[in-house]
Structure 1
Amino acid sequence: MKDVNYIFLLLAFLAEVIGTIGGFGSSVFFVPLGNFYFDFYSVLGLTAIFHLSSNLSKIFLFKKGLNKQLIINIGLPSVIFVIVGGILSKYVDSFLLEIILGLFLIGFSLLFLIKSELEFAPNRKNAIFGGVFSGFSAGLLGTGGAIRGLTMAAFNLEKSVFVATSAFIDFMIDFSRTFVYYKNGYIHAHDLKYVPYLLIIGLIGTYLGKKILNFIPQSKFRRLSLGFILIIGLVTVGKILIDNKI
């Protein structure tokens, strides 16, 4: 198709595979990488659409059960606060949002590379808090899966239940913020040419990530994923500073 950036699509595919294996979700990679090709608000719109197909794929491929209690405790607060974050994103300058995103990626990755044993207590209060924070971050910055993954990890779920439950919650979040982003004007007609590609990438990337996950221990790949997140965060901040001559 005319004017389609295939390097961007390749990076989106890699983001989906790595996000599935690492357990952080693809948006933690997709959003900062997308910022190299599109404006920040366009990336938010594309992320929501991309994730809808990605998470449907995960729900289908990891369909060994859902944890209904976590869907309520984490999912419902996430949906409420992704709407709040999505609305607020319209009133915050994109430069500031990109800086916050870069610093968030750096801080998050360093924290868990240094304190790999850090985790939340598996109780309802922390589940709700994680849902609020991850939903708000997803709406404002485009990514919140890493926070939700950390929250859910405390409950020691079987791997397929973890992925399916996380994907179901993520689907609820993406479905809600798609309407907010559309109303905000983030979903542009000239970007819709990427949607069919992203739908296919979401399915194939998730499938491949699931296959690789059967051979690579998630704990080992988690550290590698954190290293990628750190590098992406540093590059994101560096790019912003260079572009704005700071």
Structure 2
Amino acid sequence: MKDVNFIFIVLALIAEIIGTVGGFGSSVFFVPLGNFYFDFHSVLGLTAIFHLSSNLSKIFLFKKGLDKNLLLNIGAPAVFFVILGGLLSKYVSSSLLEIILGLFLVGFSLLFLVKSEISISPNKNNAIAGGALSGFSAGLLGTGGAIRGLTMAAFNLKKSVFIATSAFIDFMIDFSRTFVYYNNGYIHKHDLIYVPFLLVIGLLGSFVGKKLLIFIPQSRFRRLSLIFILIIGIVTLVQLMMTSSSN
């Protein structure tokens, strides 16, 4: 137990709760936070394992809200591209891609917060493109939920439908990339000490997040999700600046 960083565990729980409320998963917080404590590849491996349990919890808690059309249109390309991204992560430097992702999240969320009347057209082509981009980002950078969240927000879904569908897609993504990351050597024995904690956090965080959703009106849900995404982008960029200044 002396080798366990309990501050990281508490932060992981907060990430899971906010990820449940936001509807786009905890990896968008978990990956930037994890990079403060582990090397990038270890974070990828831990994220995949962590999400398998947390998304199973969300599927169970919100199982009545699944949108099968979005599951197919977003989920299928996401699974294909997460495998591709996971394979490429072994050969491509992630620094530039993390900067691009951070700038994209900040810029896109600010645009939608300031110009709330702007929306992505809720059609099949946009759903497929969003799924492919989110899957590729998840495989390469460890997080693609925010991109998927922006795509799904266009369809103006009810909270339960949004979260259940997003969690099911996320589960398929994590199940696929776990095998890729294991083959890449990202799942290390010395990090497995955190797995029991992360499994409990996945269950507890999903449960607490569901309870908090009772107090969030439907009209504020989209705006809250965008604010979370903005914070994620800022945290990502700040982390990158701190890392570069220390080198």
Q: Which range, TM-score by smaller chain?
A: over 0.9
Deviation at 1:68, TM superposition (A): 1.2
1:94–1:155 Cα change, 3 Å? closer
Take 1:117 and 1:193, find their aligned partners in 2: how far apart are those partners?
Answer: 47
TM-score scaled by length of structure 2: 0.92
Deviation at 1:155, TM superposition (A): 1.9
Deviation at 1:213, TM superposition (A): 1.0
1:204 alignment counterpart: 204
Cα RMSD of the aligned pairs, angstroms, is 1.8
Q: Secondary structure at the match of 1:72?
A: helix
How many residue pairs get aligned? The number is 244
Take 1:194 and 1:3, find their aligned partners in 2: how far apart are those partners?
Answer: 10
Take 2:226 and 2:153, find their aligned partners in 1: how far apart are those partners?
Answer: 15
- Runs (5+) with no aligned partner, structure 2: none
Question: What is the percentage of aligned positions where both structures have the same residue?
Answer: 73
Moved more, 177-186 or 212-221: 212-221
Report if aligned partners of 2:77, 2:132 keep a CA contact under 8 Å in 1: yes
Take 2:243 and 2:111, find their aligned partners in 1: how far apart are those partners?
Answer: 23
Residue 236 (structure 2) aligned to one of 202, 226, 233:
233
Deviation at 1:100, TM superposition (A): 4.2
Take 1:102 and 1:65, find their aligned partners in 2: how far apart are those partners?
Answer: 30
TM-score scaled by length of structure 1: 0.92
Moved more, 158-167 or 109-118: 109-118
Take 1:35 and 1:219, find their aligned partners in 2: how far apart are those partners?
Answer: 28
1:192 alignment counterpart: 192
Aligned AA for 1:240?
A: T
1:105–1:7 Cα change, 3 Å? farther
Instruction: Write the deviation string for residues 119-158 of structure 1: whole angstroms up to 9, x where unpaired.
Output: 2211111111111111001001111111111211222222
Take 2:195 and 2:240, find their aligned partners in 1: how far apart are those partners?
Answer: 28
Instruction: Write the deviation string for residues 173-211 of structure 1: whole angstroms up to 9, x where unpaired.
Output: 000000000011110000000011001001100110111
Take 2:183 and 2:246, find their aligned partners in 1: how far apart are those partners?
Answer: 29
Report if aligned partners of 2:45, 2:178 keep a CA contact under 8 Å in 1: yes
2:31 alignment counterpart: 31
Take 1:106 and 1:241, find their aligned partners in 2: how far apart are those partners?
Answer: 20
1:223–1:177 Cα change, 3 Å? closer
